[in-house]
DNA sequence: GTTACATTACTCGGATAGTCCCTGTCCGAGTGTGCGTGG
DNA sequence: CCACGCACACTCGGACAGGGACTATCCGAGTAATGTAAC
């Protein structure tokens, strides 16, 4: 089980944008801030826009900013936007295949294994949903926030 | 985030073997029972042996059986054996890279994002650890268990 | 009847190709800004 | 001084190759049961 590395980029980008609510930040500037390849980061940010986490604006002084308040965004929103939201376990109903196939009337409700795996997945989701971006940013020291703003703000390029 | 399809095979195989404690079941017979490709299933069963979940015996009347009692095996043991145990989120310390790099003295403890993602992962693990194989098998109807035994037992091939 | 042994058939385990998703890259369409010009 | 229009430079969004993991497959080494033959 593996989450794409871009999930880390998306999470850091969102928390960084939450520290700069005044102006939009371009993908290129974010990439320079984190030392990441700009074009691929753009693709991930586009996914966040499509999911309603970020809003994009084109042209000069354009870029990305939070589409909603940081207090209404959770880690789950970001992970879902990247595509890591699918249940890692998918039941292929192999109990209905092969020599030991179960008759369909026994398979009305999902098999126990799928149920238990899904419960674990839901526990993971709820744990992520409990973390709000604003709380995360609020626990950062002023020094860290100041450095982030200095690196991302257009005037201090 | 995706768990390999072989995880499903491993989980079903372990629960099936837990229903046939009397004799060893070969990979070929398990594959026929579930309608799966036998060679690849063998590879997954070998992983379970290496992890100490199953024990293998060669030669005629050989095959696989549980290495420990079904009451001491959990879903987490099986998933770990397949290789789905790694934390899906890996922190690459991008906070120390790029223009906004944080000085090393600020990075003694892992970043908040990695901590929160790890907490969610641990919640997932604990949810899987709480499911014991023997309980799962015990909740099956006698009819289902009888069919499984009939399909896997050597005498009724 | 018992025992030792060679045969035999069956088992697992590791080494070998094919396919899909993630990573990384590029270029084109669209737009808000800023400046120059005219009134 | 102000309004207007234009050129510009900057932005995002989608289309195009490369690599690694999962899926699928094959064959060889090893072993326990078994039938046989000798004692």
Q: Do residues B54 and B117 make contact, with C-beta atoms less than 8 angstroms apart?
A: no
pLDDT at A42 over 60: yes
Pairwise CB contact (< 8 Å): B124 & A119: no
Divide the 157 residues of chain B into consecutive groups of 10 and give the mean pLDDT of each group. 93 97 94 94 96 94 94 96 86 92 90 96 97 96 94 74
Range of the domain at B92: 5-156
- Asked if residue A1 belongs to a domain, the reply is no
CA gap B92, A67 in Å, rounded: 27
Q: Which residues of A touch B97 (CB under 8 A)?
A: 34-36
Determine the residue of chain B that is closest to A125 in CA distance. B120
| Burial class, B152, CB count within 10 angstroms (exposed 0-12 / middle 13-18 / buried 19+) | buried
- Asked if residue A41 belongs to a domain, the reply is yes
Tens of pLDDT, residue by residue over A78-108, are 999 997 778 999 999 999 999 989 998 888 8
CA gap A136, B38 in Å, rounded: 49
- Total of domains in chain A: 1
- Asked if residue A54 belongs to a domain, the reply is yes
Give the mutation candidate from B113, B134, B153 for the A interface (greatest A CB count, under 10 A). B113
The beta-carbon neighbor of B1 closest among A35, A88, A131 is A88
- Whichever domain contains B137, its CATH number is 1.10.10.10
């Amino acid at each position: 089980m593996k989450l794409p590395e871009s999930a880390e980029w998306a999470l850091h980008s969102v928390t960084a944008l939450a520290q700069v609510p005044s102006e939009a930040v371009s993908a290129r500037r974010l990439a320079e801030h984190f030392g990441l390849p700009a074009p691929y980061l753009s693709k991930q940010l586009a996914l966040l826009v499509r999911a309603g986490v970020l809003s994009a604006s084109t042209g000069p002084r354009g870029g990305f900013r939070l589409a909603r308040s940081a207090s209404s965004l959770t880690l789950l929103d970001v992970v879902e936007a990247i595509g890591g939201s699918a249940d890692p376990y998918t039941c292929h109903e192999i109990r209905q295949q092969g020599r030991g196939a179960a008759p369909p009337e026994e398979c009305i409700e999902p098999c126990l294994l799928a149920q238990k795996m899904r419960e674990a997945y839901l526990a993971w989701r709820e744990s992520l949903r409990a973390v709000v971006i604003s709380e995360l940013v609020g626990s950062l020291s002023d020094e860290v926030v100041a450095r982030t703003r200095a690196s991302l703000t257009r005037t201090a390029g």
